[in-house]
Chains A and B, each alone.
Chain A
Amino acid sequence: MEISISVNGTQTGGDVAPRTLLVHYLRDNLGLTGTHVGCDTGYCGACTVIVDGRTVKSCTMLAVQADGRSIETIEGVAVGDELHPVQEGFWECHGLQCGFCTPGMIMSSIALLDNNNDPSEAEVRHGIEGNLCRCTGYHNIVRSVQYAGAKMRGEDPQGASQGVSS
């Protein structure tokens, strides 16, 4: 089936089998391998992308379901060499260990902060409930998101990311 999908602002498309999952369309057809396949069962959230402004798990969506829609992936969040505030937060606060869950964590965090750029620790933890970190590095992930929120609010991000209880 012929599909046409906007990915990170670029129109993409082609003939795909209906059973092609969106994550495989992104990785195999477009070469955008930043979106990871983790559990492949819909639990871990490593494959999270933003479709029409809302996070979805791209391992549990058919590419044909995304026909005509607009998708953001991890490859589209930085502007040139300038990191997105959430990427910067993960860098500054050591929000990753092995890094496998990071692309999905960042996409969920961006969606969270787009709705609420001053989330409490509890709101951050609730906002990333659909993303699992096998390294269990949640403490620094929460700090990273709060760093990014402060940066997006124009406040001192170093101060905001301190004092998160463990």
Chain B
Amino acid sequence: MYPANFEYVVPSSLHEALTVLSESENAKVLSGGMSLIPLMKMRLVRPTTVVDISRLPGLDTITDEGDHIAIGALVKHAETGSNALIREYATALAQAAGVTADIQVRNQGTTCGSIAHADLAADQPAAVLALGAVMVADSVRGQRQIPAADFFVDTLTSALADDEILVGIDIPKGGRSAYAKLGRRGGDSDYPIAGAAVWIQGTDGSVADARIAVTGVSSKPYLASAAAEAVIGGNGSSDAIATAASHATDDVVVLEDLYGSVEYREHLAGVYVKRALEDVLA
């Protein structure tokens, strides 16, 4: 399978990349290509211009910015999964990155690329939702910040405009987080049939604040607010965790496919909310 023909542009600066995007009718941004190239090979996407940002300087770093951690657009899953700052301050994202797809994909694909692609069953979106991350979108019109809660619009649809590049993610420090999933090939390999990321803030077992995000079960990754409310203000008891798990799919339409029925996915969503909560409260 070959992609359809396209014009290949290697910009020498972010500004040049954004300019090409703003002037093109049907351009796509290429970094690791783990989502874009398969789509192009299957001719589900036929961009006239491909803007390869993978060699742009300065976008491949993870930095401590005081009150938050900043992840650049070109940071690959393998780096996100093993980086000490991410493991400490954004544990759920490190765990998600470590179980995304397989080793070859983690070596090539980027954290920001996965998020921009907005697959309904990707691992990263659940983590950034739970962590309350902020997406940094850039265009020739200027830079803007998009809260994770507003970023995932629908299946394969994010809040990014056609002329914008997701240049980074800012993750606020504070709290503890965890991610757990069941992969399509069993264990944690491949896309999640259901996965959950949780973030809590509190001391001595008390839960002052919490966010719980679920992926793989509905048309987009979502914040399960009823589940979070079940643990906020409590002491992380097993009863509270069980109540949270029972609200994992409140207010969403659960999808089914060859990997799992509606009933199975509803069950799994609760199981992985419970496991992620137990991990973070342990």
Contact = CB atoms under 8 A, between A and B. Distances in A.
B104 A130 contact: yes
B104 A18 contact: no
Contacts of B3: 19
Interface stretch (A58-66, A76-84, A135-143, A153-161): A58-66
Contact of A56 (B2, B38, B50, B108): B108
Nearest to A49: B104
A41 B38 CA distance: 6
Given A61-B37, A65-B33, A129-B189, A45 B104 contact: yes
Given A21-B2, A65-B52, A127-B103, A60 B34 contact: yes
Interface string A25-66: 000000000000000111001001000001111001110110
A17 interface: yes
A1 interface: yes
Which of A1, A24, A65, A127 neighbours the largest number of chain B CB atoms within 10 Å of its CB? A65
A61 B33 contact: yes
A100 B130 CA distance: 42
Interface residues of A, number: 26
Nearest to B106: A130
Contacts of B104: 45, 48, 55-57, 108, 130
Contacts of B101: 130
B41 A62 contact: no
Interface string B40-66: 111000000010101000000000000
A111 B103 CA distance: 10
Contacts of A61: 33, 37, 108
B8 interface: yes
A60 B107 contact: no
Contacts of B105: 42, 57, 130
B7 interface: yes
Which of B7, B33, B37, B189 neighbours the largest number of chain A CB atoms within 10 Å of its CB? B37
B5 interface: yes
Contacts of A111: 103
A40 B1 contact: yes
A129 B102 CA distance: 6
Nearest to A128: B103
Nearest to B37: A60
Interface string A97-138: 000000000001001000000000000000101100000000
Nearest to A127: B103
A130 B1 CA distance: 20
B50 A18 contact: yes
Given A60-B37, A65-B52, A129-B189, A19 B6 contact: yes
Contacts of B37: 42, 60-62
Nearest to B4: A19
Given A42-B34, A61-B33, 9 more contacts: A18-B6, A19-B2, A41-B1, A48-B104, A60-B38, A62-B30, A62-B33, A65-B54, A111-B103
8 contacts: A19-B40, A40-B1, A41-B1, A41-B42, A54-B78, A65-B30, A130-B102, A130-B104
